[in-house]
Chains A and B, each alone.
Chain A
Amino acid sequence: MGMHTSICIIGVGGAGGRIVGHAAPAVLGAAHVAAVNTDARELDQARAPVKLQIGTARTGGLGTGGAPSAGRLAVDDDLPTLREIVADKDFVIVVAGLGGGTGSGALPAIVRAAADGGALTVAVVTMPFAFEGAKRQGVAREALRAVQEVADAVVVMANDRLAEATGEAGLKAAFDRADDLLGRSVSTLCNLIAQPGYIKLDFAKLQHMVQHCDGTCSLAFAEASGADRAAVAATGLMCGTLLEGGKLAAAAKAVLVGIVGGPDLAVREVGELMEAIQAGLAPDCNLCMGTHVHDERRDTIQVLMLVAESWSQASAAPAVEAPRSVKQPRSGGRSRQKQSQTTLGLQLPGRGRFRNVEPTLLDGEDLDTPTYQRRGLALET
C-alpha cells in the first residue's frame, strides 16, 4: 500500500444501500462509495454517489423476491462492471443486511470479486430481526457462512440488538438511527484505515485485534465537540450503555481505539482520552490505537472503539440509559455530545478447541460455533 490507501465502500441490497448512504457524507478523501441493488426503486432512493443496478435482465429491476439465488446470479450478470468498481483497490468494505435475496445472494459474490482483485475485504453485515422468521434467519446464516469463507474479516450485527440500542423510537426513526449508527461506524473505520495518521491504524492492527479476540467484539462510537470534548467522548465511551458502564472494557483482552479529529486536535486531548480509556482497562489488556487528523474535521472528535471480550452478546437490555445531553445548536464554547453504542460480533475463526479440525456442518450451520451465539442469547455478567 502506498501513502494513500485506495478504498471502496459498497452497500449491497436495500439495507446496505441505506447504510452506505449514511456513511457517504462522512467518508473523507477519495474513497469510493457505491450502492448495488437489483431493485431499481430502492437503488433510486439510496444516497450513494455511485449506483449500480445489477441483474436487470433477470429481475426487470424489481428485486429478487427474497431469493438469494437470484441475487447471486445477478452478480454474475454484471460481474465486469462490479470488477471495475473494485479494481485496484487496497481495501474494500462491503455492507449488507442479510436475510433477503440481494444482500444474501450477492454479498459473497461481490466480496469474492473484490478479493480476487487483490483487495483486503471486510464485510459488515446485519442479521434479520427474530420476528422476520426462521426462513430469513436460515438464509442469513447461509450467507454469513459463505461470506466468512471469502472475506478477510466479517463484522456481524443482529438487528435485534440495533433495535435495543435505538430504544422505543418509532419504526422509521429506529431504522434511521440504526442505519446512521452503522454508517458512522463504517465511515470512521474507513477514514482511520484509509487516511494517513501520525499514529497509523492500519489493517494489520485490525486483523491482529480480530484474531486476538478469538470470537466476538463490542463496538462503541462517540462523537463530541466543544472545549472539553475529549472528556465528554471518553465518558460517553467508558460509561455508556454498551460497555455496561465500562464493565466490558474492564474485562477486555484487547481494545482498539481510533480517533478522528481536526487540526485543532491537541496532544493533550489525545492523552486525556487515552488515559481515561486506559484507566478503565485491565492492566494486561492489549491496546492498539490510531489517529487521523483532517482539515474538515475542526471542532469535532470522533472515537471508535472495538472491544474484544467474551460477553459479546452482552446484556440485552441495559438497565439504565446513559445520560444523553440535550442536542444543542452548534456553538463554540459549549459541549455537544452525540453518543451511540452497540454490540458487534466479529465473527472470525473463533472456534477455540476446534480450530484445526474439520467443522461439523449440518443444514448449513457450523455446529462448532457455540449454540448460544447462534441463537443470539444474551449472557449476563
Chain B
Amino acid sequence: MANAPVVGLEIGTTKVIALVGELRDDGVIMITGIGERPSTGVRKGEIIDIENAALCVKSVLAMAEERSNVAIREVLLAVSGGHVQGLVNRGTVPVFDKDGEISREDLDEVMEVAKAVNLPPEREILHTISQYYYIDNDQRVINPEGMQGAQLSVDMLVIHGVRNRLNNTVRVVRNIPVDVHDVAASGLCSALSVLTAEQKKSGVVVIDLGGGKTDYVVYADGVVASAGVLGVGGDHVTNDIALGFSIPTAQAEVLKRESGSVNAKAAVRVPTVTLPAEGGFPGRTLAVRSLNLIMHARMDEVLAMIKRRLEKDDVLHQVGAGVVLTGGGAHMAGIVELAEAVFGLPCAIGKPRNVSGLAAAMSGPEYATVSGLVQYGFKTVKEQARPPLSGWLGRIFSR
C-alpha cells in the first residue's frame, strides 16, 4: 500500500475507541482493526484521571493492534469538551497590484491575517477553516484569484480550546507512550464521516450526542459555517434519572437505554418499569412517564441551546438539508422526533459512511467521530496541508 495506516483514537466519556484504517489503491478507506472499551477517568469529554484513562487507552490500542496486525506508534486524536468553541474572524488586506488583480500572494496574505485572531492567553487554535472571500467588502466569492478589486477579505472559522485541557488528552496518549500525530475537533470529524457532499452544499446541521458533551457543526454552501461544543451529554440524562428516582447510576443507564424515551408525549404501553433487586439495591417500580419526562426535559434543553447558538450565529436560514444526529446519544428513543420539533427541520440519524471493512465500525452512530478521524487523517496526508505536529501541538511539544 502506498500510504501508511492511519489510527484514529477517541477518548470518549463513555467509550474509548481506536480504528486502524488503510487506504487502498483504489482510494477506498478500509478499516482493518478496531479496539474499544468502556471509558475510565473521563467526564464531560475531558480527562479527570490521567492514569486510569491511560490504562484504558493502552488496552484499546493493544486490541486494535492485535486485530489489524499493525504496530501502532502514532495516532490521530479527537478532542472535545465544553471549552471547545468556534468563532468567525474576518481578515482584510489591500490589493497591491496596480491593475487590482488578485494574486495567489494576496490570498495567502489575507489567510494569514484572518488566522491571527486574538484569543485569551490560555486558549489555543485547533483549526482554521476559511469560509468565503469578499472583494471590496461586498462581492462574496469562493475563489477570487485573478479577479479585480482594491480590497480582499476572508472569513475564517477559528476553532479553539483551552490549552491545558487539550494537553491533558494528548498527555494520556503520550504517557503510554504513543505519539500523537495530530488532533482534530470531534464535531468536525463526525461531520466528515456522516455527511454527503450534497448535504454540505445545501446546508446541514450535524449534532454529535456524546456521553459527556454534545458537538455541533453547521455546513452552509459547502463550507463549515459554525461549530462548537456544549458540555452536556448522555451522562447528564443518566445522572438526572439517577437523582430523580434516587437509584444507582448503573440502573439509571439501563433505564435510559431500555425503557425511556426523550419524547414525553410518546404513547406509554406499559405504565411502569420494575428494577430488580440486586446487590444491596432493594428494587423499585417506577412510572415510565416520569422517566420520559426527565429525559425529554434534558434533551429538549440541549437541542434548544444549540438552536439558540445557531440563531445567534445567523446560520440556520442557510440550512436546507435538515439536521443529522449522530453519536451514541442518537440511539435514544424518540430523539429524531424531538429534534424535528425543536428545530422545525427534517432530522435523520447519521451513520459513518465512506469507509468499508469491519462491519462494527460502520454500523452505529457512536463510531462517527473515530471513523471521521481516520478519513481526516488520509485527507490531510493527501493534501499535505499540515505537516506532522503542526500548530499548537508542535509548539507545545517542542518547548
Chain A residues in the interface with B (C-beta under 8 A): 214-215, 251, 253, 282, 284, 309-311, 350-354, 356-357, 360, 362, 367-368, 370-373, 375, 377, 379-381
Contacts and interface: CB of A to CB of B under 8 A. Distances in A.
B44 A310 contact: no
Interface in B365-393: none
Interface string B234-254: 011011101111110100000
Given A253-B246, A380-B289, A367 B231 contact: yes
B297 A371 contact: yes
A372 B262 CA distance: 12
Contact of B243 (A253, A310, A362, A380): A310
A310 B246 CA distance: 5
Contacts of B297: 370-372, 375, 377
Contacts of B349: none
Interface in B210-234: 230-232
24 contacts: A253-B246, A284-B282, A309-B246, A310-B244, A310-B245, A310-B246, A311-B244, A311-B245, A352-B242, A353-B238, A353-B249, A354-B235, A354-B239, A357-B43, A357-B46, A360-B231, A362-B230, A368-B239, A370-B244, A370-B298, A371-B240, A371-B301, A375-B297, A379-B294
A370 B299 CA distance: 11
B286 to A, nearest CB: 8
B293 interface: yes
Contacts of A354: 43-44, 235-236, 239
A353 B301 contact: no
A126 to B, nearest CB: 22
A380 B43 contact: no
A306 B238 CA distance: 26
A379 B290 contact: yes
A379 B293 contact: yes
Given A354-B43, A380-B289, A372 B245 contact: no
Interface residues of B, number: 32
B305 interface: yes
Contact of A371 (B235, B247, B298): B298
Contacts, number: 86
Contacts of B235: 353-354
A336 B46 CA distance: 59
Q: Among the interface residues B239, B247, B287, B289, which one has the most CB atoms of the partner chain A within 10 A?
A: B239
Contacts of B236: 354, 367-368, 370
Nearest to B165: A358
Contacts of B239: 351-354, 368, 370
B50 interface: no
Main secondary structure of the interface of B (DSSP, over half): helix
Interface string B266-289: 000000000000000010001101
B48 interface: yes
Nearest to A313: B244
A360 B81 CA distance: 10
Contacts of B246: 214-215, 251, 253, 309-310
A377 B291 CA distance: 12
B82 interface: yes
A360 B243 contact: no
Contacts of B290: 379-381
A363 to B, nearest CB: 9
A214 B248 CA distance: 12
Contacts of A311: 244-245
Contacts of B249: 352-353
Given A370-B298, A371-B301, A360 B82 contact: yes
Nearest to B233: A360
A309 B242 CA distance: 12
A131 to B, nearest CB: 20
Sort A-B residue pairs by CB-CB distance and give the 5 closest, nearest first.
Answer: A310-B246, A370-B240, A371-B297, A360-B231, A379-B290
Contacts of A215: 243, 246
Contacts of B293: 372, 377, 379
Contacts of B305: 362
A360 B43 contact: no
Given A350-B243, A370-B240, A372-B244, A381 B298 contact: no
A368 B231 CA distance: 9
Contacts of B244: 310-311, 370, 372, 379
B299 to A, nearest CB: 9
Contact of A367 (B46, B232, B238, B245): B232
Nearest to B286: A381
A356 B298 contact: no
Best-surrounded residue of A284, A367, A368, A373 (most CB of chain B within 10 A): A367
A82 to B, nearest CB: 36
B244 to A, nearest CB: 6
A251 B245 CA distance: 10
B48 A357 contact: yes
Contacts of B286: 381
A159 B183 CA distance: 50
B44 A357 contact: yes
Contact of A214 (B48, B238, B243, B300): B243
A290 B286 CA distance: 33
Contacts of B298: 370-372
A380 B285 CA distance: 12
Given A360-B82, A375-B297, A352 B232 contact: no
Contacts of B300: 371
Nearest to B287: A380
A282 to B, nearest CB: 8
Contact of A356 (B48, B82, B245, B247): B48
Nearest to B44: A357
Contacts of A309: 246
A215 B247 CA distance: 12
B245 A360 contact: no
Contacts of B243: 214-215, 310, 350, 352, 370, 373
